[in-house]
Amino acid sequence: MEELATLGSAVIEMLSLTMEVFTNNSDDLIQRINKKEEEISSLYKLYTKSHIKRLKNDKCDPRGGVAFISMVKDLERCADHANGIANYFLDMESYA
């Protein structure tokens, strides 16, 4: 649960930064968004490995494990989409 809360908070921060791009599309903001996306991807990999260890050590139920893996993957995908939106918006602004 702690891992999901940490990842969820990071994704919410990422979404907030992405929304900010629509009013303030600075290069600094885009760099922060890209860095946050990298952090979320790293957390996803770390949490997936940690979960596999828990499964191997019988510290969690495999049925719950499927839900956990699905949730962390979906959160990571949300961050990927937010990153794509922010970078697309920046690209569109450069053509305007």
**Domain containing residue 20: CATH number:** 1.20.58.220
* Structural domain boundaries enclosing 69: 2-95
Other Cβ atoms less than 10 A from the Cβ of 81: the count is 14
pTM, 2 dp: 0.86
> How big is the chain, counted in residues?
96
pLDDT band at 95 (very low <50, low <70, confident <90, very high): low
- Predicted pLDDT of residue 19: 92
Domain count, the chain: 1
How far apart, in whole angstroms, are the C-alpha atoms of residue 35 and residue 48?
20
